[in-house]
Amino acid sequence: MTALSAEQPRDIHARDRAFMVARHLEARGITDPDVLTAMGKVPREAFVSEPLSEFAYEDSPLPIEAGQTISQPYIVARMVELAEVKPGDKVLEVGAGSGYAAAVMSRIAAHVYAIERHEELATQARAREKRLGYDNLEIIHADGTKGLPEHAPFDAIVVSAGGPKVPEALKRQLAVDGRLVIPVGLGSHQTLLLVRRVDAETFEEEDHGAVTFVPLIGEEGWEGPDKAKAATNVDAATSGFANGLLIPSQRAKTVRTNLSHLIADAAEPFGDLDELASLAERFADKRVVLLGEATHGTAQFYDARARITEMLVKKHGFNIVAVEADWPDASVCNAFVRGLPRPEVPADPFSRFPTWMWRNGQVAAFLTRLKAINEQIGDPDRQAGFYGLDVYSLGASIEAVLLYLDRVDPEAAQVARQRYGCLAPWRAEPARYGHMAMSRGYAVCEKPVTDALLDLLHNRLGYLAKDGDAFFDAEQNARIVTAAEQYYRIMYYGNAQSWNLRDQHMFDTLERVLANRGSDSKAIVWAHNSHIGDAEFTDMGQVRGELNIGQLARARFGDDCALIGFGTDRGTVAAASNWDEPMEIKRVRPARNDSYEGRSRDAGLDAFFLETGPDQKTSVRDALAEPLLERAIGVIYRPETELLSHYFQAELSRQFDAWIWFTETDAVAARPVAHPHGPDETYPFGL
Active site residues: 71
Nearest-angstrom CA–CA distance, 307 and 303: 6
Nearest-angstrom CA–CA distance, 214 and 91: 22
How many other CB atoms are found less than 10 A from the CB of residue 39? 24
* Four-point Cα dihedral 317, 320, 321, 323, nearest 10: -150
Query: Residues 374, 383: contact at Cβ < 8 Å?
Result: yes
Query: Going by DSSP bridges, is the β-strand pair 288-291/320-326 parallel, antiparallel, or unpaired?
Result: unpaired
Query: Going by DSSP bridges, is the β-strand pair 90-94/154-159 parallel, antiparallel, or unpaired?
Result: parallel
Residues 6+ apart with CB under 8 A from 533: 292, 548, 550, 563, 565, 650, 655, 656
**Please, what's the b/e burial string for 400-426 (b: 16 or more CB within 10 A of its CB; e: otherwise)?**
bbbbbbeebbeebbeebbebbebbeeb
Query: Residues 396, 346: contact at Cβ < 8 Å?
Result: yes
**Secondary structure letter of residue 595 according to DSSP:** B
Alpha-carbon torsion 601, 606, 609, 611, what sign?
A: negative
Closest CA to 132 of 157, 99, 108, 110: 99
Chain centroid to Cα 672, Å, comes to 25
β-bridge partners, 562: 289
**Secondary structure letter of residue 433 according to DSSP:** H
Nearest-angstrom CA–CA distance, 113 and 138: 5
Nearest-angstrom CA–CA distance, 137 and 159: 16
Distances (CA, A) of 661 to 216, 339, 505, 631: 40, 35, 29, 13
Query: Going by DSSP bridges, is the β-strand pair 647-650/628-631 parallel, antiparallel, or unpaired?
Result: antiparallel
The count of residues in the chain is 687
Cα-flanking dihedrals φ and ψ of residue 148, to 5°?
Answer: -135, 80
Nearest-angstrom CA–CA distance, 671 and 660: 27
- What is the crossing angle of helices 299-316 and 273-280, to 10°? 50
Nearest-angstrom CA–CA distance, 82 and 74: 12
Instruction: Give the CA diameter of the chain.
Output: 90
DSSP states of 50-64: GGGGGGTTSSS-EE-
Give the three-class secondary structure for 215.
strand
Closest CA to 527 of 235, 345, 296, 332: 296
Query: Going by DSSP bridges, is the β-strand pair 385-390/561-575 parallel, antiparallel, or unpaired?
Result: unpaired
Give the three-class secondary structure for 623.
helix
* Four-point Cα dihedral 433, 436, 437, 439, nearest 10: 160
Nearest-angstrom CA–CA distance, 179 and 157: 6
